[in-house]
């Protein structure tokens, strides 16, 4: 029984220390990756690209809004990888870039 607990603690610490599982506060914001994969639709400051909104008939939420900022890192990661609503999955982003993009999103503020 004790051995099972020890292995469980080791497994939990490995999962929590894995880069893709860490919180955005521990990762450097990656504006370069954001600009490459997200800014075309969401704008450099997260306000959304008005022309795209008109073409696709959708209102993009400001990425600094509470609607987005209240999401957990794993929820944002899921939106990036699977898409949501009219947003398609971001197929060009690598696993290594996602934490930095999420950390950059956390720096955005709604004006």
What are the 10-residue block averages of pLDDT along the chain, 111 residues in total? 49 45 70 97 95 92 96 98 95 97 95 69
pTM of the model: 0.75
Ordered alpha helix ranges (H), the chain: 2-17, 31-37, 39-42, 50-56, 66-69, 73-82, 98-105
């Amino acid at each position: 029984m004790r051995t099972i607990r020890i292995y469980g603690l080791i497994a939990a610490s490995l999962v929590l220390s894995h880069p893709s599982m860490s919180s955005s506060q521990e990762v450097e914001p990656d504006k370069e990756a954001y600009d490459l994969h997200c800014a075309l639709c969401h704008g450099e400051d997260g306000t959304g690209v008005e022309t795209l909104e008109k073409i696709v008939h959708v209102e993009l939420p400001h990425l600094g809004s509470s609607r987005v900022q209240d999401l957990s890192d794993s929820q944002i990661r899921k939106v990036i990888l699977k898409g949501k609503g009219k947003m398609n999955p971001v197929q060009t982003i690598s696993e290594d870039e996602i934490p930095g993009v999420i950390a950059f999103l956390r720096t955005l503020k709604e004006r």
